[in-house]
C-alpha cells in the first residue's frame, strides 16, 4: 500500500471532518495556547501551560488532562534539548550561543549587566564576574559553571 493511500485511510478514522477538527482546535487554542515552540517567548508560555496543567492533575493516569500535560511537557523538553543545551566552550562563547539560540540582543540582558559590559565579555575584554554568572545561570536556566 502506498504512503498516500495509507494517510487517507488513517484520516478516515478520525472522529469528525477536518473542518470540524480545525474549528475545535481553534476553540481550544483560544482557551489554552498550545503551539509549536519557536521562540523564547513561546517556550516561556508553554512552561506556564505545563505548570498550570501539572497543578490540576489528580495524580491518576486516567485523568483527562494527563495526556495533554504529557504532550505539552514533550514540546517543552524537545525545545529545551535543542535550545538550552550549553556547549562546552569558553564562558563568553557559551553566552554568545545562548544569546543567538534565544534570539536575544545584548540590551536584553540589561537587568543582569549593561550592554557595554556584555559587549566587553563577548569581545574577550572582560571576564564574567561571579555575580553576573549567577544571574546568567538563572536567566538561561543552566549551571553557573558554564559562565565561570
Residue pLDDT tens, the chain, 148 long? 455 444 444 555 656 677 788 888 888 888 888 888 888 888 889 888 888 888 888 777 788 888 888 999 899 888 887 776 777 889 999 999 889 888 889 999 999 999 999 999 999 999 999 999 999 988 887 888 989 9
Cell of 120: 566587553
Q: How far is CA 69 from the centre of its chain?
A: 15
The residue extents of the domains of the chain are: 1-31, 36-83, 91-147
Contact 144, 133 (CB under 8 A): yes
Looking at domain 91-147, its CATH architecture is Orthogonal Bundle (1.10)
Q: Is the pTM of this model over 0.85?
A: no
Looking at residue 35, the DSSP 8-state letter turns out to be: -
- DSSP SS3 for 113: coil
C-alpha cell at 114: 549593561
Amino acid at each position: 500500500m502506498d504512503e498516500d493511500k495509507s494517510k487517507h485511510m488513517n484520516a478516515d478514522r478520525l472522529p469528525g471532518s477536518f473542518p470540524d477538527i480545525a474549528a475545535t482546535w481553534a476553540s481550544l487554542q483560544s482557551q489554552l495556547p498550545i503551539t509549536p515552540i519557536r521562540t523564547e517567548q513561546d517556550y516561556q508560555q508553554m512552561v506556564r501551560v505545563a505548570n498550570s496543567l501539572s497543578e490540576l492533575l489528580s495524580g491518576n493516569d486516567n485523568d483527562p488532562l494527563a495526556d495533554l500535560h504529557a504532550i505539552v511537557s514533550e514540546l517543552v523538553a524537545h525545545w529545551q534539548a535543542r535550545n538550552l543545551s550549553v556547549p562546552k566552550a569558553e564562558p563568553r562563547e557559551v553566552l554568545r550561543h545562548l544569546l543567538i539560540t534565544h534570539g536575544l540582543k545584548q540590551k536584553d540582558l540589561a537587568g543582569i549587566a549593561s550592554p557595554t559590559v556584555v559587549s566587553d565579555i563577548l569581545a574577550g575584554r572582560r571576564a564574567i564576574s561571579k555575580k553576573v554568572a549567577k544571574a546568567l545561570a538563572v536567566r538561561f536556566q543552566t549551571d553557573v559553571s558554564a559562565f565561570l
